[in-house]
Structure 1
Amino acid sequence: MNLTEASPLSEGMRAFIRTAASFQSASDDWPSRRAAFARQCAYFTRPAKRALVVTDQRIGGVMTRCYRPAALAPERGWPVLVFFHGGGWSTGSHTTHDWFAHALIERAGLAVLAIDYRLAPEASFPAPLDDGLAVWHALSGAGLPLDPARRAVAGDSAGGTLAAALCIALRERREAQPLAQALLYPVLSADETFASVAEHAHAPMLTARGLAASIALYAPNERDRHAPLAMPLECDDFSRLAPALIVAAMEDVLRDQGIEYAARLRQAGGHVELYRGHGLVHAALRATELDEVAQCYDRLARFLAQRGVAHSREPQ
């Protein structure tokens, strides 16, 4: 995508893209690349507008970060959104997505629990999903003021893959579904024939080549790229999955995957809401101060409140 005057992106979004691109890795090794990603996320993290309690601890043997309002918790604890961070399955941690928790808790009364799942290439599929399931199953014994009966799952980009896969895994185990799933410009397929792959092959923040490289790290065994728990659009059965909000960034190589997943869930009789993020690129949710991004957070907060996973709260 050329950021010309004809671009569908706002000047604020174009400025976000230019700034994000300035966080280059000092070298091509994984520690340097992960450090650059962490610096970028930290730069776009604005101070929380609501007083928070932030706790880092192991749950189910996996490090997590819990963000919750500093206010008195409800009698049964805060409803909780279990969150899988993005970063191509190879960068990011439980500490990199403060910006997401700050923006969401500003709008809704709930806790956000971020998972520090193992990263590729050191740990490929199914290790990150296994870590998420370990946290999910151990949450009720974590000693935090959370209400396990009111929990949802969410993830951005590669984290969206894991959030969707967690719902499929729970269904396969005949366990209760989350009250909701929120998939934010998720990776759902390794199929390169979607129209958006060609249309946005050179889009900012995520190119078609970059997507293919990330998938190859996460699922180095090509057979796994056809497994529903690795790539959820490979499912044969989309029924009995948690009510979903799917955010499709319209200027994103992943746009059509999200739209297709919404259609499959709807055809299977599920509750699904598709948010078409016009003017959004991949990773745009880091630009929390932009109006077009704020509208997306508002929609997410309303969805969670409607599904019983958050207390409604007007933006400050």
Structure 2
Amino acid sequence: MLHPQVTAAEKLRRRPPADGDPYERLVQSRAAMEEAVDLECGPAVPLPVVVDVDADGVPCRLYATKPDSPLFVYLHGGGWCYGSIETVDRVCRRIADRSGCAVLSVGYRLAPEHVFPAALDDAETVISYARKSDLGVDSTRLAIGGDSAGAQLATIAARRQRDAATPLDYQVLIYPALDPMTAAESYEELGRYGLDRASMKLAWETYVPDPMRRITPDVAIFATADLAGMPPTLIITAEYDALRDEGADYADALATAGVPVVHTRYMGVNHGFARKLAVIDAARAATDQVASSLRAALTF
């Protein structure tokens, strides 16, 4: 059963009209998501360090509670088309506060203004920047993660780092969007709970307009021939999320490849729940699970 808190949360954000110019609707959706941050996510937890950073041209925000902390690079969700550093600000603050890790939140370029591989390039630029720059953190202990589209960028970046013989130490994937073909049965069963196949197909097509590129390993992680050597992974999925099955399938694929993986499914919630800290109890539990997993993986 869908939790009543999810239903209540859906009323907090202004919805754009169902018709009209598609790009104008996208612009309005971006604005509505920003406007709802305080209502959905709650007040900003004060931290000793919250500073905006130019990571070789990619805007980022660094959150830290102490010097020389391990670093967690975080990529926000939003279908590669919306979302921002601001929309995940409260989540990043909570993770930094409770994990003992610094968090570097990435403001990657969005589609349709900037299509593939712009966002992936930005993620890799930030990883490189973090490793070579003096941020006051310990970038030899480096994890990556994100939610939804950001989780897709995170795991592709992690795979590329593995292939470059510079592997990351850990990855966190919150309801990851991983299959450009949107083939999972969960789309049929759960599409009425907020995220459906049509909207997800549109997001993939907007991010990667060339259909042939959507089946390459830099877009579809399932096209990667061998997942061995990927970083230990936490995957969080939601019971009422159309992306639920592809997240579970990826957890199984990682385990088959010998990668340590924990997959937790949060019941009664749908896609996007994890950032709504002010209104959904499971959001706080999921964010705290992320923090505790990072602390266990990186604070050695």
Alignment TM-score, normalising by the size of structure 1: 0.88
2:146 is matched with: 155
Stretch of structure 1 that moved more, 44-53 or 140-149 = 44-53
Pair 1:241 & 2:230 matched: yes
What secondary structure is seen at the aligned counterpart in 1 of 2:255? helix
Pair 1:143 & 2:139 matched: no
- What do the CA deviations read for 1:214-257 (whole angstroms, capped 9, x no partner)? 01101111111111211212222111101000011111000000
How far apart are 1:120 and its partner, in Å? 0.5
Counterpart of 1:24 in structure 2: which amino acid? Answer: P
Q: How does 1:82-97 map to 2 (within 5 A)?
A: 82-97=73-88
How far apart are 1:270 and its partner, in Å? 0.6
Counterpart of 1:238 in structure 2: which amino acid? Answer: L
Counterpart of 1:31 in structure 2: which amino acid? Answer: V
- What do the CA deviations read for 1:112-137 (whole angstroms, capped 9, x no partner)? 11111111111111111111101101
Counterpart of 1:41 in structure 2: which amino acid? Answer: V
Contact 1:118-1:128 within 8 A present in 2 as well: yes
What secondary structure is seen at the aligned counterpart in 2 of 1:96? helix
Contact 1:151-1:309 within 8 A present in 2 as well: no
How far apart are 1:59 and its partner, in Å? 0.9
Contact 2:119-2:153 within 8 A present in 1 as well: yes
1:24 is matched with: 16
Q: 1:95 to 1:49 in 2, by over 3 A?
A: closer
What secondary structure is seen at the aligned counterpart in 1 of 2:293? helix
1:279 is matched with: 268
Q: How does 1:55-204 map to 2 (within 5 A)?
A: 55-69=51-65, 72-73=66-67, 77-175=68-166, 177-204=167-194
- For residues 123 and 134 of structure 1, the distance between their equivalents in structure 2, rounded to whole angstroms, comes to 15
1:14 is matched with: 7
- For residues 240 and 167 of structure 1, the distance between their equivalents in structure 2, rounded to whole angstroms, comes to 10
How far apart are 1:42 and its partner, in Å? 4.2
Question: Which segments of 5 or more consecutive residues in structure 2 lack a partner in the other structure?
Answer: none
Q: 1:181 to 1:281 in 2, by over 3 A?
A: same
How far apart are 1:23 and its partner, in Å? 4.2
Pair 1:34 & 2:22 matched: no
1:307 is matched with: 297
Sequence identity percentage: 31
RMSD: 1.9
What secondary structure is seen at the aligned counterpart in 2 of 1:248? strand
- For residues 103 and 184 of structure 1, the distance between their equivalents in structure 2, rounded to whole angstroms, comes to 15
- For residues 108 and 124 of structure 2, the distance between their equivalents in structure 1, rounded to whole angstroms, comes to 10
- For residues 137 and 15 of structure 2, the distance between their equivalents in structure 1, rounded to whole angstroms, comes to 36
Q: How many residues align?
A: 295
- What do the CA deviations read for 1:44-94 (whole angstroms, capped 9, x no partner)? 23223453421112112211111112xx42xxx121110111111011222
- For residues 33 and 217 of structure 2, the distance between their equivalents in structure 1, rounded to whole angstroms, comes to 28
How far apart are 1:309 and its partner, in Å? 4.8
Contact 2:77-2:146 within 8 A present in 1 as well: yes
What secondary structure is seen at the aligned counterpart in 2 of 1:43? helix
- For residues 171 and 51 of structure 1, the distance between their equivalents in structure 2, rounded to whole angstroms, comes to 32
What secondary structure is seen at the aligned counterpart in 1 of 2:262? strand
Contact 1:50-1:105 within 8 A present in 2 as well: no
2:284 is matched with: 294
Q: 1:233 to 1:306 in 2, by over 3 A?
A: same
Contact 1:41-1:286 within 8 A present in 2 as well: no
Structure having the higher helix fraction is 2
- For residues 62 and 97 of structure 2, the distance between their equivalents in structure 1, rounded to whole angstroms, comes to 15
Contact 1:81-1:309 within 8 A present in 2 as well: no
Which of 249, 258, 270 is the equivalent residue of 2:259?
Answer: 270
Counterpart of 1:280 in structure 2: which amino acid? Answer: V
Q: 1:263 to 1:156 in 2, by over 3 A?
A: same
